[in-house]
Amino acid sequence: MSQHSARVSLLDLALAPATLRAYNKNLSSFLTHTRLTLQQLLALQPKHIDHLLAGYIQHSYDIGVPYDYASYALNGLIYRSPDLRLCLGKSRLCLRGWQRVKSSASHPPLSWELTLVLAVTMARSGYHAEAVASLLAFHCFLRVGELTRLRICDVVMPGRMGRAHSGMAVCLPLTKTGRNQWVSLLDSAVAAILQHWVSRRSRTAADTDLVFPFSPDHFRQLLRRACAVTGVGHIAYVPHSFRHGGATDAYLHGATIEQIMERGRWKAMESAKRYIQTGRVLLANQRLPQAVTDLGLLFHETLEPLMLRLMASVPLVSSRSSGARRVSFRL
């Protein structure tokens, strides 16, 4: 092999692969918005580039695009042209304003009862992976990135570790607060449902394949649709609401802040306390239909047999081949 063909770009190695993909994807979205190629954009004056990017960030905010996507677009542009780092003042101010609005409008936590109703709704419509993912995200306080990066080999099945650990757990090789994190499954019903799903996936997938073969965007859209059908579409639930709800629920049922910090992989006690304090207020202020809460309580009593029966009897809908917007949910 020649020296030229074996060349590795040190620039591309500077970022984690997932970060590089996010930068490239959202920079491409910005370029599509401007109808320019990257070369054409970089030929403009920095002041003009800043004006175009600030307009794109405002547009993204207006149409409800996630904040992170706009941030990735800005950082992706700087990554491809580092000389622009000090030339995007207007765009940075737009992101700062968005961040302030974003920080003051915390995403509401999901209750366990509503999580069950949403999971059963997804399972009855053939979205088994998303249903199991909802239960796991709530129970293990998972961020959406952690959830969608989870591999089959990351799920510790009963007996895998011998006497060291007889139950189930999930290993998280990469998280926001560090590498090689661990969360035990303490709920026997959630553990049994996850075990069934992973065993089913393992029949056709390799150990390094994903447990949940869908993107964060797909999960976000499906959750929004399930909420609308359930009658809670007026509340701005997002995938992070499972993590927030799980931590809040654990605290209300007697878990200490230290236990929640370990399980949720928080580093600072102050941020964990603020998270729980906010979650309790947001949960108390929600006005859920009583019928939904009652249904969730009913599902709680029969969760394991109900979910296993649905996963065995309802045809699976492929997350890759069917759009979340077209699914016909039913309760």
User: In this model, does residue 325 exceed pLDDT 50?
Assistant: no
pLDDT band at 38 (very low <50, low <70, confident <90, very high): very high
In this prediction, residues 94-112 reach a mean pLDDT of 83
In this prediction, residues 75-97 reach a mean pLDDT of 95
Residue percentage of the chain with pLDDT more than 90:
68
pLDDT of residue 105: 57
pLDDT in tens, 171-198: 998 887 778 889 999 999 999 999 999 9
178 burial (CB, 10 Å; 0-12 / 13-18 / 19+) is exposed
pLDDT of residue 321: 45
In this prediction, residues 51-60 reach a mean pLDDT of 96
User: In this model, does residue 320 exceed pLDDT 80?
Assistant: no
CA-CA-CA-CA torsion sign (304, 139, 119, 171): negative
CA atoms within 13 A on the CB side of 227: 22
User: In this model, does residue 163 exceed pLDDT 80?
Assistant: no
Give the predicted TM-score (pTM) of the model. Answer: 0.71
Question: Which domains does the chain carry?
Answer: 10-104 (no CATH), 112-326 (1.10.443.10)
In this prediction, residues 241-249 reach a mean pLDDT of 94
pLDDT in tens, 288-314: 889 999 999 999 999 999 999 999 999
What's the rounded Cα separation, in Å, for the pair 130 and 134?
6
Who's near 296: CB < 8 A, 6+ residues apart? 111, 112, 113, 114, 115, 116, 117
In this prediction, residues 198-206 reach a mean pLDDT of 94
Q: Which two tokens stand for residue 250?
A: 């654990």
In this prediction, residues 226-234 reach a mean pLDDT of 92
Residue percentage of the chain with pLDDT more than 70:
92
User: In this model, does residue 26 exceed pLDDT 80?
Assistant: yes
pLDDT of residue 36: 96
